[in-house]
Structure 1
Amino acid sequence: MQQPLAYRMRPTKIEEIVGQQDLVGPGKIISRMVKAKMLSSMILYGPPGTGKTSIASAIAGSTKYAFRVLNAATDTKKDLQVVAEEAKMSGTVVLLLDEIHRLDKTKQDFLLPLLEKGAIILIGATTENPYININPAIRSRTQIFEVHPLSPKDIKQAVLRALKDVKNGLGQFHVSLSDPAMEFLTTATNGDLRSALNGLELAVKSTPENDDKMIDIDLSVIEECLQRKSLSADKNGDAHYDVISAFQKSIRGSDVDAALHYASRLIESGDLVSLIRRLIVIAYEDVGLANPAACERTVSAVEAAKQLGLPEGRIPLANVIIELCLSPKSNSAMSAIDQALNDVKTGNYGEIPLRLKDAHYKGAKKLGRGVEYEYPHDFPNDWVKQQYLPDKIKNAQYYHPKNNGKIETALKEQYLRLRQSFGR
């Protein structure tokens, strides 16, 4: 049976992994483990198609350990026993356990002593947050690493590799992939390399050769094979980002109908990831302190949409899009942190006042650290006047509050009172 392209193109060594360079790049944690042959069990969590299985496969390939794949939900304790027996006979086995958040107690109790002895290097894969959904006994014996959606650049690298690879890829076919088709393939799959590669394989194998014995893959073919539509009739590569930009600017400008229109383009293209990420940015960047409750409701709506998926996920998102549009707006918090960051980046700051420096070690008092610090809770109203900023910027003002909404108006009054009390 012919395996899917995504399966055939799985890396066999660390250097072949696409993306996740914060984990597998030179000098990074997993790369160091492999190089030193000091593997420890781990949990990889993140969206589908982002490389969890690839990392496990590459670890096994780079260390020459046997590699086995099981599913915590569907495979039995007996399947685990087979892997354990193999480890006894041939040495360490790298076991990729998919859906590890669904591991029951019987299987867990069988695995734990094997992890302790190092007979099995467990690599758990899950799309769920392991800090919430995985048993503490397993968590305490593993390192937890988050994997992220691949960038369009990462996916393009993998696609080009697959088109060239004669043995495992599509190198035996003479394929011409148009620039718009490549652009759409790398962006519309939302960082899911598995979807991109399998869509590409379907496109190549279902498209007849032209008179020159070439297989021409254009945008319409990729759209059909991915079952997603390009966001723009002009088919240019900037369309994806143009829609996201127009979406944010419509909410910022309080145009409900325009915001719903651009959100619908993203929904129709299947790009739930970009939509929910941008909504959270909008909530905190453009609404912010003018309506903090709307920010919280945005996070709740996004979590609901993730659980529901499309098409049902559109409903909580529509609720919060309308609320954000009609909410008062303020970017004062973003402006404040950006101004403070600019001072730090340009070196426009001074020494931390001695009274604020750490005093929890022997000899700190001799250095004058923490000596003059006054504990606010010892004073009426739990406040006392003292200088917190370095001398060089003691009168700096980063936060410039606005009067947009009851919440920030109240925060402004409190901020100005305190600033005056500090003598600024």
Structure 2
Amino acid sequence: MEQPLAYRMRPRNIEEVVGQQALVGPGKIISRMVQAKMLSSMILFGPPGTGKTSIASAIAGSTQYAFRKLNAATDTKKDLQMVAEEAKMSGTVILLLDEIHRLDKTKQDFLLPHLENGRIVLIGATTENPYLSINPAIRSRAQIFEVQPLTLDEMGVAVDRALNDSERGLGQYFVDLDADAKKQLLYATNGDLRAALNGLELAVKSTSKDVDGRIKITLPIIEESVQKRALVADKDGDAHYNVISALQKSIRGSDADAALHYAARLIAAGDLVILARRLRVIAYEDIGMAAPVVVNQAITAINTAEQLGFPEARIPLANAILLLALAPKSNSAMVAIDAAQADLQKRGGGPIPDYLKDAHYQGAADLGYGVDYLYPHAYPGDWVAQQYLPDSLQGHQYWEPKGNSKAELSYQQQYEKLRIAQKQGLQRKKK
């Protein structure tokens, strides 16, 4: 059975690598390693289809070293032993270890001495952030390089190369790829060259030749062959959390369009739970005291979305996102609680005044608990000056309003009015 087009078109040397010029371009780090034949183990991380395997294959082709590929999740320690034996005989083997973040301790312990003596040059590939997902013992023995999604121009170069290559590509099929079909192929696969090439191959091989013996690939054919692709990595992937981060930062920055874009990615992934959770966090972290009414409206919309489920959930979610993005912003409440927590770590709590302690049980009064407590509702305006903080923290202020909206200004005025009244009332009592 013939290998897929993406496999056949893998670069045979560094010069054939598409994209990643910051790593493999002239004078760049991996090119220098190859030219000097001073290879070191490395970890390549980035989205699927961006060239991690291609770079490893190209390094092997450029250096003429043996090249082997294993998967950390599915291949066994015995498979690693076979690679090690080959390395002893041939001198050096380049080992591409896919899903390296799933390497268990037994396999890791076997690999480490072979990495140390240089017989195996490990090229680990992963879609996960290696600083979060890969054991430090492996990480410390490898250089870490981030592989970037391919640009549309770079994807176009690779597609054209595949269409014109008669030996490994589709050159023998005499393909006419419409401009709008090519554009859709590049956009729909979102920087994943493997998906683009395999989608193109399906389109070509499933389309009949015309009377002139040519295969004409139109937009509908590409749409059928590629199908709709979600523009976000799987729910456990590092890219997924990057989208979530971008969503929150877009709302915080009041860019409604960007926020809707990143929300659309999460909706495409079907992740209602984490989207709803993050929007709740955003409502209280980034808007908070600046627009409490908006926060309540957004929370209502989020709750409605969860009750509806997809696809209808997208509608209340859009309402919530627009409300939050366009609302005035203030993180004063979050800063206040963080300040209180930091103060607690630094100073400790201090004894709670006895009159604030729980006094609902028999014998509490004998301990002095609840005695002399002033019940605010028994006083005019339902307020009375009374010390609530421990003695060691008396007068300490955590909330620092920003006054970014009329709502927060009104709360600020009330906050300052009560602080002044509290201070004056307690001073009068001392006299």
* TM-score band w.r.t. shorter chain: 0.5 to 0.7
Give the TM-score, by structure 2 length.
0.60
Name the structure 2 match of 1:72: 72
> For the Cα contact (< 8 Å) 1:330–1:404, is it kept in 2?
no
Q: 2:290·2:404 contact (CA, 8 Å) conserved in 1?
A: no
For residues 281-325 of structure 1, give each alpha carbon's deviation from its aligned partner in whole angstroms, at most 9, with x where no partner exists: xx99xx99656999xxxxxxxxxxxxxxxxx99899878654331
TM-score w.r.t. length of structure 1: 0.61
Residue of structure 2 equivalent to 1:195: 195
Cα distance, 1:82 vs structure 2 = 0.7
1:10–1:253 Cα change, 3 Å: closer
Report deviation, 1:62: 0.8
C-alpha separation in 2, matches of 1:64 and 1:91: 12
Q: CA deviation at 1:86?
A: 0.7
Alpha carbons of structure 1 residues 253 and 3: separation in structure 2 relative to 1, 3 Å = closer
The alignment status of 1:54 with 2:49, answered yes or no, reads no
Q: Is the 8 A contact 1:291 1:327 kept in 2?
A: no
What's the secondary structure of 1:169's corresponding residue? coil
- Indicate how the Cα distance of structure 1 residues 112 and 316 shifts in structure 2: closer, same or farther if over 3 A, else same: farther
Alignment of 1:118 onto 2:115: no
Matches within 5 A, 1:15-414: 15-228=15-228, 321-327=318-324, 329=326, 403=405, 406=408
One-letter identity of the residue aligned with 2:89: M
> Unmatched 5+ residue regions in structure 1?
230-247, 295-311, 334-380, 382-399, 411-424
| Alpha-carbon separation, structure 2, partners of 1:122 and 1:22 | 20
Separation in 1, partners of 2:311, 2:124: 31
Check 1:317–1:18 CA distance in 2 against 1; reply closer, same or farther (3 A cut).
Answer: farther
Deviation at 1:117, TM superposition (A): 0.4
- The 1:19/1:110 distance shift into structure 2, 3 A limit, reads same
Q: CA deviation at 1:24?
A: 1.1
Please list the CA deviations of residues 64-123 of structure 1 after superposition, one character each: whole Å capped at 9, or x if unmatched: 110000011111111111111111111110000001111111111110000000000000
1:12 pairs with 2:18: no
Mapped partners of 2:55, 2:407: distance in 1:
48
| Secondary structure at the counterpart of residue 172 of structure 2 | coil
Contact 2:44/2:124 (CA < 8 Å) preserved in 1?
Answer: yes
Distance, in Å, in 1 between the alignment partners of 2:54 and 2:142 is 18
Which string of whole-angstrom CA distances, capped at 9 and with x for unpartnered residues, describes residues 361-387 of structure 1? xxxxxxxxxxxxxxxxxxxx9xxxxxx
1:27 deviates by: 1.5
Alignment partner of 2:176: what SS? strand
Report how far residue 173 of structure 1 moved. Answer: 0.8
SS for the counterpart of 2:326 is: coil
**Equivalent position amino acid for 1:165 in 2:** D
**1:209-265: CA deviation from partner (whole Å, max 9, x where unpaired):** 111111000000000001129xxxxxxxxxxxxxxxxxx99x96979xx959x966x
Rounded to whole Å, the distance in 2 between the matches of 1:291 and 1:143 is: 43
1:58 aligns to what SS in structure 2? helix
Report the Cα distance in structure 1 between the residues aligned to 2:176 and 2:327, rounded to whole angstroms. Answer: 49
Q: Secondary structure at the match of 1:327?
A: helix
CA contact (8 A) 2:112 2:138 kept: yes
Matched residue SS, 2:171: coil
Letter in structure 1 aligned against 2:87: A
Q: What one-letter code is carried by the residue in structure 1 that aligns with 2:320?
A: E
What is the aligned length? 301
Deviates more, 1:318-327 or 1:30-39: 318-327
**In terms of mean alpha carbon deviation, does 32-41 or 173-182 score higher?**
32-41
Task: Tell me the distance in 2 between the aligned counterparts of 1:153 and 1:208.
Answer: 28
* 2:372 alignment partner in structure 1: none
The CA RMSD measured in Å over matched residues stands at: 4.4
C-alpha distance after superposition, 1:256-284 (max 9, x if no partner): xx959x966x789x699xxx9xxx9xx99
- Aligned-pair distance for 1:29? 1.2
Partner amino acid for 2:86?
E
Classify the secondary structure of the residue corresponding to 1:211.
Answer: coil
Q: Judging changes above 3 Å, is the alpha-carbon distance between structure 1 residues 171 and 31 closer, same or farther for their aligned structure 2 residues?
A: same
**2:72–2:97 contact (8 Å) kept in structure 1:** yes
Indicate if the aligned counterparts of 2:255 and 2:325 stay in contact, CA closer than 8 A. no
Q: Deviations over 1:119-144 (max 9, x none)?
A: 00000011111111111110110111
Give me the whole-angstrom Cα distance separating, in 2, the residues matched to 1:157 and 1:197. 11
Q: Cα 1:14–1:401, aligned 2, differ >3 Å: closer, same or farther? A: farther
Instruction: Provide the secondary structure at the position in 1 that maps to 2:320.
Output: helix
Deviation for aligned residue 1:36: 1.4
Gaps of 5+ in 2: 230-249, 292-308, 331-395, 397-401, 413-431
1 CA distance for matches of 2:316 and 2:98?
35
Match of 1:352 in 2: none
Displacement, 1:47? 1.1
| SS at structure 1 position matched to 2:157 | helix
Q: Is the 8 A contact 2:260 2:321 kept in 1?
A: no
